[in-house]
Amino acid sequence: MNKQFLFLNKFAAINRSEIFDLSSDNYVNLVKFFETGAIDRTHTLVSGFKYNVIDPIPEITSSRPPIDELMLETAREILKLAEKKKQKILVLWSGGIDSTAALLALLEICGKNSTDIISLGSSHGSFVEFPEFGKYLMEQNIEILPMVHPVSKYLPQDYIVVTGEHGDQLFGSDKMLPLVDSGLGDLPYKKYLPFFIAEKLGNIKQVSHLVEYLEAIIEKCPFTITDICQCLWWFNFVLKWQQVSLRIPVWSGKNVKQVFDQCEHFYRNEKFQLWSLARERKNPHTVDRYKAELKEFINQRFVCEKYFLRKRKEISLRPRAEKKWWELARHRWSFVMDETWNLEKQIIPHYL
């Protein structure tokens, strides 16, 4: 195909062979391993199709501002944008660490005018995930709009929509947390990655080919990757970044570019990317310390010992268990979007 792509989900990559110009076995196995469509921001991997990168990896600089400074600076920029556009800010608050920290930064910058400027989009699960803060937000009389998955179908117009997207890509990957929890986060990636890939693929015959395929992007990291946590973070930072930038707009099913332009993913900017690139150590050593810097930022502004000490990463942007029937229905759709932001959807009657 002559088209260049911005987005394809895992079901398109696995089931839509007509997308590929070249042999794509390694790329398809990568998608199965990482459980997502992948756009390589290093332009290194042979994917079998042409693609455009919307967020190039920035060149590393010597400065490394503290994350508190970046949080408040980003919040100021979003407030300035809202004032320029004369729009309110809608924060998609999930109750998780990323969106809670972003919301607290915006509340601090907006100050006493917060209730006039900020509204929230939240679900039942948001309050269950952080009940203490949920009660506080209700007491402040902040407008809270009920949301369900996929949120992009219900976003009101004329708002700047702020999300906590890209938090995982800055700090690591949810795929490394079971290893961290088991005390295996410092294992040499060269020794352990084959076992991890074999477990994900369920097929040992293709492991060596995929390891060799991925080694090309590992070599592109600005520092030397040695352990499995660094390795999984780099895969997440390089391969999944664009998927995360575009998944909420894509889930809208229409007007994707309009929804994308409406969204301000809080952690997407170059400053946060540079902060992450400057942190060579990605193993938090205990799961409770994952995203410790953001948890500390939260606790300095809303003290909750239980959240600070025990909060763990939860899967975001998916239906809760009671909606599993809906999730299964969604999983039969392939999404492909080209460089003109034209979104093509196809149903896959028998997935795999």
Query: How confident is the model at residue 324, as a pLDDT?
Result: 44
- From residue 112, alpha-carbon distances to 83, 107, 115, 272 in Å are 16, 8, 8, 27
Pick the CATH number of 67-169+247-316 from 3.30.70.20, 3.30.200.20, 3.30.70.260, 3.40.50.620: 3.40.50.620
What is the pTM for the complete model shown? 0.93
Query: How confident is the model at residue 314, as a pLDDT?
Result: 66
Mean pLDDT by 10 residues, the chain (352 residues): 89 87 87 94 94 95 88 99 97 97 98 96 95 96 92 90 98 94 97 95 91 97 97 98 97 92 98 96 96 97 92 59 46 88 85 48
What residue spans define the domains of the chain?
67-169+247-316
**Dihedral in degrees, nearest 10, Cα atoms 177, 291, 275, 189:** -20
Q: Which tokens hold the place of 194?
A: 């084959």
Query: How confident is the model at residue 27, as a pLDDT?
Result: 95
Task: List all residues 6 or more positions away from 340 whose beta carbon is below 8 Å from its beta carbon.
Answer: none
